[in-house]
Amino acid sequence: MMTKLILIAPLLFASLHVGVAAEEWRYTDGSGQTVELDEVPKRIIASADAAAGLIPLGIRPVGIYADSVVAQSKPLQGLDLSGIEIIGSVWGQIDIEKAAALQPDLVIAEYWPMDGNWSGGEVVTGPESPLRQLVPVTGPTQGDSILSLIEDYEQLAASLGADLTVPAIEDAKRAFQAARSEFEEAVAAKPDLTVLAVWAGEDALYVAATEGAAELSDFSRWGLNLIDPENADDRGYWETLSWENADKYQPDLIMVDDRSEQTMATALAQPTWTTMRAAETGAVTDWPAFWLRNYAAYARELEHLTVAIKAADQHLTD
């Protein structure tokens, strides 16, 4: 009997080993569709946002497509991109030949429910796109919380084999938690402070709707009193104000979309920019608009915003 058990045990172990090696991978994405693969994907092409969520968790894509040149890409700043092929640096465009040469198993992007599109738009990741003909496209939803989105990336990374207990990840999470606590304390100390988030264009000033930006929703949830536009556009992101009407809202603090340095320069060039008292007095700070995807970046931006909140006059526009 003992001999039989000894002989059977290796066979059982071999059987289990084969089962693990051939483990199927299943993921239900932000659009509600489920992607199933025969094996856990290893060769991943990611949008810049998805890469910013995955790389700090130990998942390195073989290729990235971005909406701008990498040197100017806010989500990718500070990340080690060595050995990663850049297959696109303009919104809605990728080099499909480079993508195919990478022999990808999967594309990870983000689903934007307000637009009904995936990162990169219809041409890059739509149902008929060349990229989707290569491999499936999947990923989390760009919803109403950056914190929830980061947690979604943690779950996705774990399914891809990431070890979320490594010290660097845990340290980044602790730094974020500390920065969030300080932010909430600063906000609580100034209950009357009002804040306006904007993007400045040559043609108009665009006032951000809280529900249209996940980080603004987080800030609001944590106590920040954001001024919501009265008439957001049909996509739910902005109210457009002609520069003649830039003073429609009078916040104590203005946050300016920081995805491009040109945005602040455009605002400062407008004569009516300073018709807002906050702009006139320099009560202006950065808004990390739409690009936060990991704990380290979120902690850094919360610390920056907390400094601005502490310096702001909550009775500026009384």
**302 shares a domain with 187:** yes
- Residue 12 domain flag: no
For residue 282, being part of any structural domain is answered with: yes
DSSP secondary structure letter of residue 144: S
User: For residue 5, is it within any domain?
Assistant: no
Q: What is the CA radius of gyration of the chain?
A: 23
Residues 227 and 247 in one domain: yes
Give phi and psi for 90, each to the nearest 5. Answer: -135, 135
* 129 plus 228 within the same structural domain: no
| In a shared domain, residues 140 and 171 | no
Report the pLDDT value the prediction gives residue 61, as an integer from 0 to 100.
98
Tokens (6 digits) for 218: 């987080």
pLDDT in tens, 33-46: 999 999 999 999 99
Alpha-helical runs (H) found in 212-260? 214-221
Element (H, E) at 84: none
123 and 203 together in one domain? no
Query: Same structural domain for residues 98 and 200?
Result: no
User: Among 111, 130, 159, where does a domain finish?
Assistant: 159
Domain boundary among 159, 182, 202: 159
Span 89-99, pLDDT tens digits: 999 999 999 99
What does the block give as tokens for 290?
A: 């739409």
For residues 275 and 176, membership in a common domain is answered with: yes
Collapsed DSSP state (helix, strand, coil) of residue 10: helix
With H, G, I as helix, E, B as strand and everything else as coil, classify residue 5: helix
Task: State the residue for tokens 């700090």.
Answer: 56
In the prediction, which pLDDT does 31 show? Answer: 83
Q: Quick one: 213 and 105 in the same domain?
A: no
The answer to whether residues 149 and 217 belong to one domain is: no
Alpha carbon distance, N-terminus to C-terminus of the chain: 89
192: containing domain: 167-311
Please check whether residues 229 and 270 belong to one and the same domain: yes
Q: How far is CA 150 from CA 45, 52, 142, 232, in A?
A: 18, 10, 10, 27
For the chain, give the mean pLDDT. Answer: 92
What CATH number corresponds to the domain at position 264? 3.40.50.1980
171 and 154 co-located in one domain: no
Question: 218-252: per-residue pLDDT in tens?
Answer: 999 999 999 999 988 867 899 999 999 999 999 99
Neighbours of 33 (CB within 10 A): 12
pLDDT along the chain (318 residues), means of 10: 33 38 84 94 98 98 96 94 97 96 98 91 94 96 95 97 97 98 98 98 97 96 97 85 97 97 96 98 97 98 98 96
